Structure 1
Amino acid sequence: MLFAVVTWQVAAEGPLLSADVRLGRALFGTGPTVLTELLADLGSTTVAPLALLAAIAYVLLRDLRQWRAALIAALAMAAVPALVVPLKLWIARPGPLEPDIGWYPSGHMATATVAYFGAALLVTPYLRRRWAMPVAAVLTVTTGVGLVLRGYHWPLDVLGSLCLFGALLPWLSAMCRRRSSSRTRTG
């Protein structure tokens, strides 16, 4: 629901859009450049998908029967450009520091959300402590912070991606935990 509201506000240039621009301009360039660049890079296609790939490899090496969960996580990552690119073309939002269009929703934020939470969902059953989801949340949120502070995206670009792909997480979680009845032990 929040994704629909944010997208409507960006597309229709509603009141949230002017607040977004003011907030973005106030935040751009703040923070140490090296750190904010590193945080923004956590959502790049050379970093985040590798985390998911490592989790997929780990899970398959532990239990090859988890191939469905691994496949679902990989398909969720493949869905990122399939959903984000058409939305970017449709919304055609100009960038914060460049006149180019196609900044909403943030592909880097979408990539980070799916990669880190997907990896956490895959590895959590194999961990003694439940630290993977909090780590995924920190990595995802700090990616968004880095993207905004570096001026790569407006705050609503980041929020829109988080809402869109965050809504997929419960579905992804359910699909990853689903067990075939043929493998379920009976009394």
Structure 2
Amino acid sequence: MDSEPQPWTDPFAAPPPLAGPRVVREDNQADPEGPAHTEGRSTDRPTHTPRDARNGDHQSRPGALPPAPGRPLRVLGRFAGSAALPVLLGVALVLVTWQVAVDGPLLGLDRWARHAVRESRHDLHSTLLNHVGKALSDLGSAVPAIPALLAGGALAAWRSRRAGAPRWWLLAVVAALTTGLIPLLVVPAKAWLARPGPLGMPLEPHQLGWYPSGHAATATLSYGVAAVLVARTVGGTTRRLLYAAGALLSVGVGLGLVWSDYHWLLDVVASWCLGGLVLWALAHWLPRSRPRDAAQPAAADRR
């Protein structure tokens, strides 16, 4: 007897899904959809897997979780504390100085920046911005930058003495020595290179050049060293705020100088590199002295 004809099936078709057993969840409710719906959609792990054990935490993978807050700041902090930063600053300083000395093609960046700033000033025609630029550039003058540096050194020494540090007076001495270091770093280069300013007027025989910027160097070293000195005596959050304030003041002064046509852009960049090298060395050489009440930092400061 012939068997009944079998229905035709496609040999390349996917096998039919298997019906899984009903899964009882922790709330004693049966899951009608089977075990496939109890797994995390982004990581193919159970939904109760701890976050730090999931594959989704790895970047550049499908279903990657968002980066943890503060991770870019931690990476930036590690880079600032590594030996790569002074190498980068030193290379940039040598390159810019060489280009200024030989009138190299990199100076085209100065001319482009001056042209862009002048067009922006003309288009905006904002008296307020012009006053802000001049006020920012004035922050790089000896007053108020030097008094701020000495006040920061005195405050750091007082806090260090209060914490019982053996060499608390060293912080005030560093602040005083920095006031003499600024002209030693800037004046010889100004006299040697004798670079004219953005207005193009020739230098008088008794006049120093514009490279590097004395105002930018004064601001970077004065506010930066004051922040570094006081930061040796405080906790993590306050320390980061001090570093940020010093950096913002230095950047603000440099931008104000360029906006007001007082300096070329590379004059300011060179002063930032000089100041950055001194600050990096100082931050690694000075011992940290924190007050007794900050000896056990809060959990927020340890992040």
| TM-score, normalization by structure 2 | 0.56
Q: Unaligned stretches of 5+ in structure 1?
A: 180-187
Matches within 5 A, 1:66-105: 66-101=168-203, 102-105=209-212
Aligned-pair CA distance for 1:98: 5.0
Which segment drifts farther, 107-116 or 70-79? 70-79
Contact 2:140 2:215 in 1 (8 A): yes
Aligned-pair CA distance for 1:125: 3.0
Aligned-pair CA distance for 1:8: 0.5
**Percent of matched pairs sharing the same residue:** 45
Aligned-pair CA distance for 1:169: 1.1
Partner of 1:54: 151
Contact 1:73 1:172 in 2 (8 A): no
Partner of 1:119: 226
Contact 1:117 1:133 in 2 (8 A): yes
| Cα offsets for 1:140-181 (capped at 9, x unmatched) | 0011000000000000000011112211111111232278xx
Residue 142 in 1 paired to residue 252 in 2?
A: yes
Residue 154 in 1 paired to residue 256 in 2?
A: no
Aligned-pair CA distance for 1:76: 2.5
Give the Cα separation in 2 of the matches to 1:73 and 1:54. 9
CA distance change for structure 1 residues 175 and 72 in 2, over 3 Å: closer, same or farther?
farther
Give the Cα separation in 2 of the matches to 1:159 and 1:112. 13
Contact 2:157 2:171 in 1 (8 A): no
Contact 2:133 2:260 in 1 (8 A): yes
Residue 19 in 1 paired to residue 109 in 2?
A: yes
Give the Cα separation in 2 of the matches to 1:19 and 1:109. 18
Partner of 2:65: none
Residue 132 in 1 paired to residue 242 in 2?
A: yes
Give the Cα separation in 1 of the matches to 2:286 and 2:189. 27
Contact 1:121 1:176 in 2 (8 A): no
| CA-based RMSD | 1.8
Give the Cα separation in 1 of the matches to 2:105 and 2:172. 41
Q: Unaligned stretches of 5+ in structure 2?
A: 1-90, 162-166, 204-208, 290-303
Contact 2:150 2:172 in 1 (8 A): no
Divergent runs of 4+, >6 A: none
Give the Cα separation in 2 of the matches to 1:178 and 1:68. 12
Q: Which amino acid aligns with 2:191?
A: L
Give the Cα separation in 2 of the matches to 1:152 and 1:75. 27
Which of 209, 213, 223 matches 1:106?
213
| TM-score, normalization by structure 1 | 0.88
Bigger radius of gyration among the two: 2
Aligned-pair CA distance for 1:100: 4.3
CA distance change for structure 1 residues 53 and 73 in 2, over 3 Å: closer, same or farther?
closer
Give the Cα separation in 2 of the matches to 1:177 and 1:111. 24
Greater per-residue helix proportion? 1
Q: Which amino acid aligns with 2:245?
A: V
Aligned-pair CA distance for 1:104: 0.2
Q: Which amino acid aligns with 1:26?
A: A
Matched length: 179
Give the Cα separation in 2 of the matches to 1:98 and 1:16. 18
Higher relative contact order (CA 8 A, sep 6+): 1
Q: Which amino acid aligns with 2:148?
A: A
Partner of 2:11: none
